[in-house]
Amino acid sequence: MQAHLVTLPGDYIGPEIIAQAVKVLEAVARRYGHRFTFDERKLGGASIDAFGVPLTEETLAACNAADAVLMGSVGGPKWDDVEPARRPEKGLLALRKGMGVFANLRPCTIHPQLAGACPLRADIIAKPIDIMILRELTGDIYFGKRWRAEDRKAATDEMAYSEMEVERLARIGFEMAKKRRGKLCSVDKANVLECSRLWRETVQRLAAQYPEVEVTYMYVDNAAMQLILRPSQFDVMITGNLFGDILSDESAAIAGSLGMMPSASLGSGTRGLYEPIHGSAPDIAGKDIANPLGTILSGALLLRHSLGLDAEAAAIERAVSGVLDEGYRTADIAAPGTKTVGCIAMGDLVAARI
C-alpha cells in the first residue's frame, strides 16, 4: 500500500526518537512491499523558532492531508519565557483540535522482560496485563465554563458532556473490544454526577448493538483501586477526559517505564495522531541515550489504527519484544545483566529484526 505520513519531531529528544521510528517504518515498508512517504514539519518550540508560532496553518493543513501523523514531543526550558498563548504545548493542543481527534488511546502492557520496573507485586502481575484505556479528549470539565469570585475565595469549573460526544468515543471502544478480548469497562461516577448518568445511559444504549461485547460499569474510585489490585481483569476501558487523564497516568505507572509507552489520538475517520506519552526530556537531549521504543511502538499503533496493517504492527511489537529478550536496554530501563545501548543502536536493532 501507499501511505503519506507527516512527522513532527518537535523539541529536544523529539528528533532523536522520531528518526528511529521512521527507520523502523521504512524497514516495515521494505519487508512488506509498501511505500510510505514522510513529510517532516516543525511543531512546538522548533516552530516558534522558525515561524514565531508553535503550529502554522500550513503544518496543520499538511497533517490533515496525510494518512497519519507521528509526533515526538514538544516544549522545554528554551521556551519557558514565551507568552502563554504561544507556548509549545499550545501547538499540540491546537493540532489535536485542528485534526478533530477526540479519543486518546493508551495501551498498558507490561513487557515481561521489564516486569522488575513494575511497582506491583509479582503475584498481581502474574496474569498477563493488556489494557487499552480510551480517554475522551475534547469535552468534560477541561472545556466547561469557569468562574472565580471577585474576592478570589470561591471558584467553579463546569463539567459538560453531550450524548454525541459520549457515543462517538464509546463506539470506538466497542469496535476495539470486538477486535480484542470482547470486554469493555465503562468508568464513570454515575452515583453522583449527571454527566456520568448521561455517559452510562449512552453506553447502555449502544451496548444493545454490540451483543458480542461483555460490558461492565465501574465507578472511577473503584476503577482506580482495581487497576492496582487486579489489572488483568481489564480489556478495553472507556472514560471521560478528567477520569481518563488520571487513570491513564496510573496505568503508565503500572507499566513502569515512561520511555516504553505509546499513544494514539483518533477521530471519526482513520487519520490519527501518534506519539509517545513522555515529554521532550531536555535533561538527556543530544546524548543519544533517549529510549525510542515508545515512539517506535506508536508507529505500530499508526499502522494498526490508521493504515489497517495489523500484521505489520504486530511485527514491530514482536521486534521490540525480541530485542528486549536479547537483553538490549536503553539507559532508562537498564538492569544488572542487560546490555545498554544508545537511542540510534536501539532503533537499528528493532529495524534489523523487522
* Closest chain position to ligand NAD (CB): 279
Report residue 234 as a C-alpha cell. 481489564
Kindly provide the b/e burial profile for residues 268-291, where b requires at least 16 CB atoms within 10 angstroms of the residue's own CB: eeebbbbbbbbbbbeebbeeebbb
To which H or E segment does residue 244 belong? Answer: helix 241-255
**How close are the terminal C-alpha atoms of the chain, in Å?**
17
Nearer to ligand NAD, 89 or 250 (CB): 89
Q: How far is the CB of 305 from ligand NAD (least distance, A)?
A: 18
Annotated active-site residue 183? The verdict is no
- Residue among 207, 258, 334, 345 that touches ligand NAD (CB under 6 A): 258
Q: How far is the CB of 21 from ligand NAD (least distance, A)?
A: 11
Catalytic position from the list 142, 183, 219, 348: 142
Answer for the pair 251, 107: CB distance below 8 angstroms, yes or no.
no
- State the binding string over 267-296 for ligand NAD (x if CB under 6 A, else -): --------x--xxxxxxx-----xx--x--
Catalytic position from the list 189, 210, 235, 328: 189
Catalytic position from the list 249, 283, 310, 325: 249
- Residues forming a β-bridge with 217: 186
* Torsion angle of the four alpha carbons 137, 16, 112, 243, in this order, in degrees rounded to the nearest 10: -20
Nearer to ligand NAD, 89 or 245 (CB): 89
Report residue 268 as a C-alpha cell. 471519526
Residue showing cell 459520549: 166
Nearer to ligand NAD, 111 or 278 (CB): 278
To which H or E segment does residue 254 belong? Answer: helix 241-255
Nearer to ligand NAD, 184 or 333 (CB): 333
Annotated active-site residue 49? The verdict is no
Catalytic position from the list 49, 221, 283, 310: 221
CA distance 342 to 31: 24
Nearer to ligand NAD, 92 or 238 (CB): 92
- Residue among 9, 15, 75, 231 that touches ligand NAD (CB under 6 A): 75
What SS3 class is residue 146? strand
Question: How distant, in Å, are the alpha carbons of 93, 102, 104, 289, 312 from that of 269?
Answer: 19, 11, 14, 36, 20
Q: How far is the CB of 343 from ligand NAD (least distance, A)?
A: 8
- Residue among 73, 104, 248, 306 that touches ligand NAD (CB under 6 A): 73
Annotated active-site residue 249? The verdict is yes
Q: Which residues bind ligand NAD (CB under 6 A)?
A: 17, 73-76, 89, 92, 258-259, 275, 278-284, 290-291, 294, 332
Active-site residue list: 142, 189, 221, 245, 249
